[in-house]
Chains A and B, each alone.
Chain A
Amino acid sequence: MANFVSSRFLRDGRELPSALEEARVGIEALARSYGLDFFDTIFQMCTYEEINMIAAYGGFPTRYPHWRFGMEYLQMQKSYEYGLSKIYEMVINTDPSYAYLMDCNLPVDQKLVMAHVYGHVDFFKNNLWFQHTNRRMLDQMANHATVIRRIQERHGETEVERFIDLCLSIDNLIDPHAPHIKRTRDPLAEEDLEAAQLDGSIPKLRSDRRYMDKFINPPEFLESQRQKKADEVQKQQNFPNEPTRDVLAFLIDHAPLQRWQRTVLEILRDEAYYFAPQGQTKIMNEGWASFWHTRLMTRHILTDAEVIDFADHNAGTMAMQPGRLNPYKLGVELWRHIEDRWNKGQFGKAWLDCDDPRARAAWNTDAGLGNERIFQVRRTHNDVSFIDEFLTQDFCEAQGFFTTTFDERSGRWVMDSTEFGAIKKQLLDMLATKGTPRVYVTDGNAMNRGELLLEHAYEGLDLQLEWASQVLGNLSALWQRPVHLHTQLEGKPIALVHDGSELTKSPREEAS
């Protein structure tokens, strides 16, 4: 099997054979000559079993023990063996980067994958949303695995596994923006407030003369000041002070957990944050890598004999399958569209103001800014802002997008609209939520009984109730008190309460 490199962690696969290594050196130089700027990338050849294993582990060679990795591996094995799917490539966002190639692929595929991987690594290194990820995650994951194994030895495999199951079921309740925000507390304001709370006085406007006092501070004003202060004091006493989306962090800080449980939860939170930006930039990242592999392959690398295979496999990746939006396709087309627009100078006020379709079609100022522009965009955007800024009506029409809706009567998906606004809104909605509802902890002492109150920022889509019930059950196991979730079902505000054994559903007044 794999000849393991003795290192701090096990690594799979073998070095590239010399012919591919030669090709790799060439591709690396080419990629750099186009301005791509990436970490050193180490390629390893793997059998499909190894690659499926690594994929099941989320790309990392060493993870903590958990059955779901086994399940995912089994599914990938089956799917590969039945010829349904195949993993061409895998790359880990670390410094240096590791990428895995499958040893049974054609040389032309391997070259394609290498060019593609350099695109990804450039993106990892430069995109802002990855600036806070831990580039030593390979070691970190291995450390996590060691810690969890040690905990398992002490507290029993099944117990720890059961606890991990609980944690995993809420590991999407994090705040993907948190690493980018510096939340500073103002300690002075807090002190003031505390002092004010203690002295019981009401803040007044200053009046030098006593007879003016009732004009400067009339009773209504005093009343409103009193109210304001009461509110602020109340807010201070609220727990948490402000709704927090990072439910995991809140539980780590406040749930009645044992020490090992807290450690496990911290580890899982850490890993969830590591994977979060990859979800936020899927379209851009895949598009960017595809953009560069096609460019490098077609302009430089391909030999005549390889063209057909390349075209075939490339088309396979880019194909829109019925039933889902292909991030590779959308991404690469959008990158090309941006490059083209800025090359032709199709931007700025004059362009936006121009209503004449013929003028727009022929618009070309030879600005030549395309290359510069795409490199800027790959630095600053994520999928939501990328689509929001660059998905234009022209692009939408050229690509033939449409929205779909599920027709209850026929039980089929049908085309709903080809209207630009609707398509863009639908896409942005999908990307903004990524299927994960935004849920905030608003009160850790609900009903003044130490119960946990979560609020779902409802955006028009109902939660899957069966799963919500299980998740709330898991949350109440962690919190050890009943857990409430405020959401909406079929347009009606509703409160879901799980007391650890069963879920109750009750309508609720739409209050603040």
Chain B
Amino acid sequence: MRIDRDLGRFRDIVRGKVRRDLRKHMSSNELVGKQGKKLVSIPLPQIGIPRLRYGDNKKGVGQGDGQGEGPGQGQEAGDAPGEHLLEVEFTVQELAEIMGEELELPRIEPKGESQAQTTKNIYKGIAKTGPESLRHFKRTYRQALRRTIASGTFNPERPVIVPIKEDKRYRTFVPETRPRSAAVILYMMDVSGSMGQEQKEIVRAQAFWLDAWIRLHYEDVETRFIIHDAAAREVDRDTFFRTRESGGTLISSAYKLAIEILEKEYPREAWNIYPFHFSDGDNWSKSDTQLCIQLLRDKLIPWSNQFSYAQVDSQYGSGQFIKDLEGTFVEEDKVVTSRVPSRDAIMDSIKTLLAAGR
């Protein structure tokens, strides 16, 4: 429709506004919460054209018996700016792109694409049987024509062709294997007593954006969620963000479980692997930290595109773990660490985590 152009212009303007306010959007959980099936709806103050108008009109005229609900207000009330909210919908993909532009994130180049395969059914074969809805008209006609000519009944004066059952040809699918790019995101989170509600919200927001960005680059993305305190277990998305346990923290338990899952289900030739670990940086003991480093060095890091560790500040945690990691993996550029002291830091943290484009 003709309006599409103006609509597109308007969406561009809105897109620009969202981009400018990205920090605000990213640090609030509103977006994450507003996520529908595919669309995220963003409330924006209405974008208006300013005109000279009266301010709050405190007088009006009403009609009726004065019973019942509702005021009679002046007809100009409600024209003040900021009163109308405009709900604009974006796909998660669009949001990720906006974020990519704003943070100037490099695109991820998938590895191991040739190895990963996917099978798709493609309609490109012809068969003698099939449903009428898939009948190939041209092929059927050609077959019938051939038969008519061969049997000598073809009359050029009256070239009527009547196909019989044997003439009919149908479209049919053949399975085809294609290379594809696939990624698995492993979210690991410390749910020990020291991680509070606020910390979890931060993790949630971060996970949303990381997810969106990685999904932009792969055809197939799977996500797995691991929570741990002194022991680790795999959970679904909902539980991941809700659970709060008490007790100690053994980070190695999560890494062990992650390695187990990867070994069993995600051959590293076929998958791009993205482990993200969120914690407040408090580990039970030095020896466990040593074990963690061991696991990372031997397995997780070599297998992964990138191992990311984000440390959420909490009032209880010592925050030691990030120092240990940074100290150990100075040379290893597949390890990325970031600190998220508050909501406002989410955007910068994401920039750090995704800056390498791996």
Q: Chain A: residues with CB nearer than 8 A to chain B?
A: 1-2, 10, 49-50, 53, 56-57, 61-62, 65-71, 73-75, 78, 161, 165, 168-173, 320-326, 329-330, 399-406, 412-416, 423, 426-427, 430, 433, 435-437, 439, 456, 461-468, 470-471, 474
With A320-B63, A404-B62, A461-B57 as contacts: A467 and B51 at CB distance below 8 Å: yes
Q: Which residues of B contact A405 (CB under 8 A)?
A: 58-60
Confirm or deny: B127 has a beta carbon within 8 angstroms of a beta carbon on chain A: no
Q: Do B61 and A426 touch (CB < 8 A)? A: yes
With A70-B8, A325-B61, A423-B61 as contacts: A430 and B1 at CB distance below 8 Å: no
Candidates A10, A325, A435; contact of B54 at CB < 8 Å: A435
Candidates B2, B50, B66; contact of A169 at CB < 8 Å: B50
Q: Which residues of B contact A474 (CB under 8 A)?
A: 50
Q: Which residues of A contact B72 (CB under 8 A)?
A: 322-325, 402, 404, 413, 415
Q: Which 6 A-B pairs have the closest CB atoms?
A: A322-B70, A413-B71, A70-B6, A70-B10, A470-B50, A70-B7
A10 to chain B, nearest CB (A): 7
Q: Do B66 and A415 touch (CB < 8 A)? A: yes
Candidates B3, B56, B79; contact of A406 at CB < 8 Å: B56
Q: Do A70 and B2 touch (CB < 8 A)? A: no
B94 to chain A, nearest CB (A): 15
Confirm or deny: B302 has a beta carbon within 8 angstroms of a beta carbon on chain A: no
Confirm or deny: B64 has a beta carbon within 8 angstroms of a beta carbon on chain A: yes
Q: Do A65 and B55 touch (CB < 8 A)? A: no
Q: Which residues of A contact B6 (CB under 8 A)?
A: 56, 65-70, 73
Q: Which residues of B contact A323 (CB under 8 A)?
A: 70-73
Best-buried of B6, B47, B69, B73 by chain A (most CB within 10 Å): B6
Interface of A is mostly: mixed
Confirm or deny: B118 has a beta carbon within 8 angstroms of a beta carbon on chain A: no
- How far is it, in angstroms, between the C-alpha of A98 and the C-alpha of B71 when the chains are bound? 37
Candidates B1, B55, B56, B63; contact of A402 at CB < 8 Å: B63
Q: Which residues of A contact B330 (CB under 8 A)?
A: none
Q: Do B60 and A403 touch (CB < 8 A)? A: yes
Candidates A57, A171, A400, A403; contact of B59 at CB < 8 Å: A403
Q: Do A463 and B56 touch (CB < 8 A)? A: no
List B151-209 residues whose CB lies under 8 Å from chain A: none
Q: Which residues of A contact B63 (CB under 8 A)?
A: 320, 325-326, 329-330, 399-402
Q: Do A70 and B59 touch (CB < 8 A)? A: no
Query: Residue-by-residue, is B33-77 near A (CB-CB < 8 Å gives 1, otherwise 0)?
Result: 000000000000001011111111111111111101111111111
- How far is it, in angstroms, between the C-alpha of A430 and the C-alpha of B59 when the chains are bound? 9
- How far is it, in angstroms, between the C-alpha of A208 and the C-alpha of B259 when the chains are bound? 122
- How far is it, in angstroms, between the C-alpha of A69 and the C-alpha of B74 when the chains are bound? 26
Confirm or deny: B87 has a beta carbon within 8 angstroms of a beta carbon on chain A: yes
- How far is it, in angstroms, between the C-alpha of A416 and the C-alpha of B61 when the chains are bound? 9
Query: Residue-by-residue, is B76-90 near A (CB-CB < 8 Å gives 1, otherwise 0)?
Result: 110111000011100
Q: Do A435 and B10 touch (CB < 8 A)? A: no
* A-B contact sample (18 more), CB < 8 A, given A66-B6, A400-B64: A62-B2, A65-B5, A71-B10, A71-B47, A73-B6, A323-B73, A324-B72, A330-B63, A399-B63, A400-B66, A402-B61, A404-B73, A415-B72, A427-B61, A439-B52, A461-B55, A463-B55, A464-B80
CB nearest neighbor in A for B58:
A406
Interface size on B, residues (CB 8 A): 47
Q: Do A169 and B51 touch (CB < 8 A)? A: yes
Confirm or deny: B134 has a beta carbon within 8 angstroms of a beta carbon on chain A: no
Confirm or deny: B9 has a beta carbon within 8 angstroms of a beta carbon on chain A: yes
Q: Chain B: residues with CB nearer than 8 A to chain A?
A: 1-3, 5-13, 47, 49-66, 68-77, 79-81, 86-88
Q: Do A78 and B87 touch (CB < 8 A)? A: yes
- How far is it, in angstroms, between the C-alpha of A69 and the C-alpha of B10 when the chains are bound? 8
B355 to chain A, nearest CB (A): 31
CB nearest neighbor in A for B76:
A435
CB nearest neighbor in A for B3:
A53
Q: Do A169 and B49 touch (CB < 8 A)? A: yes
Q: Which residues of A contact B61 (CB under 8 A)?
A: 325, 401-404, 423, 426-427, 430
- How far is it, in angstroms, between the C-alpha of A93 and the C-alpha of B183 when the chains are bound? 60
- How far is it, in angstroms, between the C-alpha of A61 and the C-alpha of B72 when the chains are bound? 36
CB nearest neighbor in A for B60:
A404
Best-buried of A67, A171, A399, A463 by chain B (most CB within 10 Å): A67
Q: Do A471 and B47 touch (CB < 8 A)? A: no
Q: Do B87 and A437 touch (CB < 8 A)? A: no
Candidates B53, B59, B64, B68; contact of A467 at CB < 8 Å: B53
Q: Do A471 and B1 touch (CB < 8 A)? A: no
Q: Which residues of A contact B52 (CB under 8 A)?
A: 170, 172-173, 436-437, 439, 456, 463, 467-468, 471
Q: Do A413 and B60 touch (CB < 8 A)? A: yes
B77 to chain A, nearest CB (A): 8
Q: Which residues of B contact A456 (CB under 8 A)?
A: 52
A472 to chain B, nearest CB (A): 9
Q: Which residues of A contact B65 (CB under 8 A)?
A: 400
Q: Do B13 and A322 touch (CB < 8 A)? A: no
- How far is it, in angstroms, between the C-alpha of A462 and the C-alpha of B53 when the chains are bound? 9
Q: What are some 22 contacts across the A-B interface (CB < 8 A)?
A: A1-B1, A2-B1, A10-B2, A70-B8, A74-B7, A75-B86, A161-B9, A170-B51, A320-B64, A323-B70, A323-B71, A325-B62, A400-B65, A400-B66, A401-B63, A404-B74, A423-B61, A435-B53, A439-B52, A463-B55, A464-B81, A467-B50
A470 to chain B, nearest CB (A): 4
- How far is it, in angstroms, between the C-alpha of A321 and the C-alpha of B56 when the chains are bound? 20
B61 to chain A, nearest CB (A): 5
B60 to chain A, nearest CB (A): 5
CB nearest neighbor in A for B74:
A430
- How far is it, in angstroms, between the C-alpha of A194 and the C-alpha of B38 when the chains are bound? 75
- How far is it, in angstroms, between the C-alpha of A306 and the C-alpha of B59 when the chains are bound? 40
Q: Do B9 and A406 touch (CB < 8 A)? A: no
Q: Which residues of B contact A320 (CB under 8 A)?
A: 62-64
Q: Which residues of B contact A468 (CB under 8 A)?
A: 52
B331 to chain A, nearest CB (A): 48
Candidates A74, A415, A439; contact of B62 at CB < 8 Å: A415
- How far is it, in angstroms, between the C-alpha of A15 and the C-alpha of B2 when the chains are bound? 20
Q: Which residues of A contact B47 (CB under 8 A)?
A: 71
